[in-house]
Amino acid sequence: MRVAEFDREFVLRQAMLAFTQCGYAKTSMQKLTQVTGLHPGSLYAAFSNKKGVFLAAIEQYQTDKNQQFNAFFCNNAPVLPNLRAYLALVVTECLGGDSMKVCLLTKSITEVEGQDSQISKVLSDNLNAYEQAIAFQLNRAITQHEITPNRSAQQLARFFAMGLYGLRTYALTNNNAKDINQLADDLFSVISN
Amino acid sequence: MRVAEFDREFVLRQAMLAFTQCGYAKTSMQKLTQVTGLHPGSLYAAFSNKKGVFLAAIEQYQTDKNQQFNAFFCNNAPVLPNLRAYLALVVTECLGGDSMKVCLLTKSITEVEGQDSQISKVLSDNLNAYEQAIAFQLNRAITQHEITPNRSAQQLARFFAMGLYGLRTYALTNNNAKDINQLADDLFSVISN
DNA sequence: CCTTATCTTGAATGTACACTCAAGATAAGG
DNA sequence: CCTTATCTTGAGTGTACATTCAAGATAAGG
């Protein structure tokens, strides 16, 4: 008996980056062997096929992003400044030149919509969970009287998620820092009023 | 001397639909020959290559969408109700099952970002023109005192465009009619207050 | 140290792709 | 009605792809 040698997290993070940069269709197995350092046989032994690599990479992405998000709210500070700080991170990513400019989940669901319902479901489940995480924080903000909105935390979170998806797409059409920051300010003020 | 037989608009609209459904990478030339009815040689004679077909299809898309948008504002009615009616159309498209659920421009720019700068530029130019068309209408609304916003028409249009991009993406994760309508209402009230 | 189960290797396979091109078809100009 | 430029046809070409698999390597159990 022999144990697998490769570092699963490293492999999936590398795959994650490749899928983010090239998209699902254009990320070839050859490219995945290059960035992961694994040979085709090993990749297929571990993940069955390209779709298996993708789904595993999505899972890793979700884990990483979830941890990143929660890190903004694990202090004892009020919710809203934390949420504003998180929004500032997204703005930084939008304005940066690297692959973090786009969200792997929204990019992928846009690509595979109507082509693979299993992948679509995984992606929408993950994005719904993201919205729920935002709703949880906004609910805390309401409970702590940081905001007294005329909408539910759920509705606010939905609007905020929509805004984030739109912000990332918009930044692809206009990468002007002032404009993106303005949009983020406007989005935040809709939530925090 | 012989004149081309095929109907260019028909061909490009068919190509448009294929690209919208399958994305740029996964729309094969074989599929394009099927949906257009043209043989490979004719397609290559008319548009050089796959990228040529795509760019021509984008141009047709822009023409069609521009016409559709302007049709909402060619009456003498106030701007805001017209804009609200246009937003209702987008909501209908988002909730429908066909390929109009996604915008070819935003879908494509998300896909090819970082892969083909020429295509990216064409797409962002078109999306910027879309934003300008919205800004033009909002400017009229301000001039006619339909709204007295604390932001410029430009800024409002930017936010509205961002919202539309986000709305279409969000609808892929949650196709509940009530939620999408609520988001559209919220988006519109940000603009019209 | 040998067996055996498992992992690694990378060449091989069949398919699908973008694109080409030479032969055939067709209409305008003379 | 013939010439000629242009369009249409669709089989053909080379490449890149996802996937397979048999041979080699390696570690745990006895």
What torsion do the CA atoms of A76, A78, A84, A85 make, to the nearest 10 degrees?
A: -20
In angstroms, the CA of B12 and the C1' of C26 are apart by 24
Task: Decide if A53 is inside a domain.
Answer: yes
Asked whether the beta carbons of residue A23 and residue B21 sit closer than 8 angstroms, the reply is: no
Task: Decide if B141 is inside a domain.
Answer: yes
> Region B126-146: what's the mean pLDDT?
98
Q: Are residues B24 and B88 in the same domain?
A: no
Q: Are residues B94 and B139 in the same domain?
A: yes
Q: Are residues B164 and B94 in the same domain?
A: yes
In a mutagenesis test of the B interface, which of A95, A115, A152, A162 is the best target, namely the one with the most B β-carbons within 10 Å?
A162
Number of structural domains found in chain A: 2
Domain end residue (candidates: A28, A60, A92)? A60
Task: Decide if A65 is inside a domain.
Answer: no
Residue B33: nearest nucleotide (C-alpha to C1'): D10
In a mutagenesis test of the B interface, which of A27, A170, A176, A178 is the best target, namely the one with the most B β-carbons within 10 Å?
A170
Question: What pLDDT shows up at residue B177?
Answer: 98
Each residue's pLDDT tens digit, A104-145: 999 999 999 999 999 999 999 999 999 999 999 999 999 999
Token look-up 């809709």 returns A190
Using a 10 angstrom Cβ sphere, with 0-12 exposed, 13-18 middle and 19 or more buried, the burial of residue B32 is: buried
Question: What pLDDT shows up at residue A35?
Answer: 96
- Whole-number percent of chain A with pLDDT over 70: 99
- What is the rounded CA–CA span in Å between residue B56 and residue B25? 16
Return the closest-CA partner of residue B87 out of B137, B13, B142, B128: B137
- What is the rounded CA–CA span in Å between residue B59 and residue B12? 9
Q: Are residues B22 and B94 in the same domain?
A: no
> Region B178-189: what's the mean pLDDT?
98
Cβ–Cβ contact A166 with B under 8 A: yes
Position A20: which residue type?
A: T
Q: Assess whether pLDDT exceeds 90 at residue A171.
A: yes
Return the closest-CA partner of residue A123 out of A178, A160, A184, A165: A165
Residue A157: closest C-alpha in chain B = B183
Q: Are residues B176 and B116 in the same domain?
A: yes
Q: Assess whether pLDDT exceeds 90 at residue B152.
A: yes
Question: What pLDDT shows up at residue B2?
Answer: 77
For B:115-144, CB contacts with A below 8 A are 115, 120, 123-124, 127-128, 131
Token look-up 């043209």 returns B38
Least CB–CB distance from A173: residue in B124, B155, B183: B124
Cβ–Cβ contact A87 with B under 8 A: no
Task: Decide if A66 is inside a domain.
Answer: no
Q: Are residues B161 and B117 in the same domain?
A: yes
- What is the rounded CA–CA span in Å between residue A163 and residue A18? 26
Mark out the alpha helices in A72-176 (DSSP H runs): 79-95, 104-112, 117-143, 153-173
Return the closest-CA partner of residue A152 out of A132, A129, A128: A132
Q: Assess whether pLDDT exceeds 80 at residue B11.
A: yes
Residue B152: closest C-alpha in chain A = A182
**How far is residue B37 CA from its own chain's centroid?**
25
For chains A and B, CB pairs below 8 A equal: 127
What value does the mean pLDDT of chain A take?
96
Task: Decide if B67 is inside a domain.
Answer: no
In a mutagenesis test of the B interface, which of A172, A181, A188 is the best target, namely the one with the most B β-carbons within 10 Å?
A172
Question: What pLDDT shows up at residue A60?
Answer: 97
Do residues A125 and B188 make contact, with C-beta atoms less than 8 angstroms apart?
no
Task: Decide if A67 is inside a domain.
Answer: no
Q: H or E segment at B81?
A: helix B79-95
For B1, the token pair is: 């001397």
Q: Are residues A96 and A181 in the same domain?
A: yes
Which of the nucleotides in strand D have any atom less than 7 Å away from a protein CB atom? 4-12, 16-22, 25-29
Return the closest-CA partner of residue A100 out of A61, A63, A157: A61
Task: Decide if B65 is inside a domain.
Answer: no
Task: Decide if A148 is inside a domain.
Answer: yes
pLDDT confidence tier of residue A158, bands split at 50, 70 and 90: very high
Each residue's pLDDT tens digit, A64-93: 999 999 999 999 899 999 999 999 999 999
Question: What pLDDT shows up at residue B110?
Answer: 98
- What is the rounded CA–CA span in Å between residue A61 and residue B90? 31
Q: Which residues contact A160 (CB under 8 A, 6 or more apart)?
A: A134, A138, A187, A191
Which domain covers residue A151, as residue numbers? 72-192
Do residues A127 and B127 make contact, with C-beta atoms less than 8 angstroms apart?
no
Q: Are residues B172 and B142 in the same domain?
A: yes
- What is the rounded CA–CA span in Å between residue B159 and residue A36? 40
Q: Assess whether pLDDT exceeds 80 at residue B117.
A: yes
> Region B67-94: what's the mean pLDDT?
97
pLDDT confidence tier of residue A3, bands split at 50, 70 and 90: confident
> Region B75-85: what's the mean pLDDT?
96
Q: Are residues B93 and B53 in the same domain?
A: no
What value does the mean pLDDT of chain B take?
96
Return the closest-CA partner of residue A114 out of B16, B27, B98: B98
Q: Assess whether pLDDT exceeds 90 at residue A147.
A: yes
Return the closest-CA partner of residue B174 out of A188, A121, A102: A121
Instruction: Annotate B23-74 with DSSP letters as a single string.
Output: HHHH--HHHHHHHH---HHHHHHHHSSHHHHHHHHHHHHHHHHHHHHHHTTS
Do residues B17 and B99 make contact, with C-beta atoms less than 8 angstroms apart?
yes
Q: Are residues A17 and A83 in the same domain?
A: no
Q: Assess whether pLDDT exceeds 80 at residue A44.
A: yes
Q: Assess whether pLDDT exceeds 80 at residue B3.
A: no
Q: Are residues B43 and B16 in the same domain?
A: yes
Which protein residues have their Cβ less than 7 angstroms from some atom of strand D?
A 1-3, 27-31, 40-41, 44, 49-51; B 1-6, 38-42, 45-46
| CATH number assigned to the domain comprising residue A40 | 1.10.10.60
| CATH number assigned to the domain comprising residue B107 | 1.10.357
Return the closest-CA partner of residue A11 out of A19, A21, A3: A19
Cβ–Cβ contact A44 with B under 8 A: no
Each residue's pLDDT tens digit, B23-46: 999 999 999 999 999 999 999 999
- Whole-number percent of chain B with pLDDT over 70: 99
Q: Assess whether pLDDT exceeds 90 at residue B153.
A: yes
Question: What pLDDT shows up at residue A89?
Answer: 98
Q: Are residues A55 and A79 in the same domain?
A: no
For A148, the token pair is: 């007294």
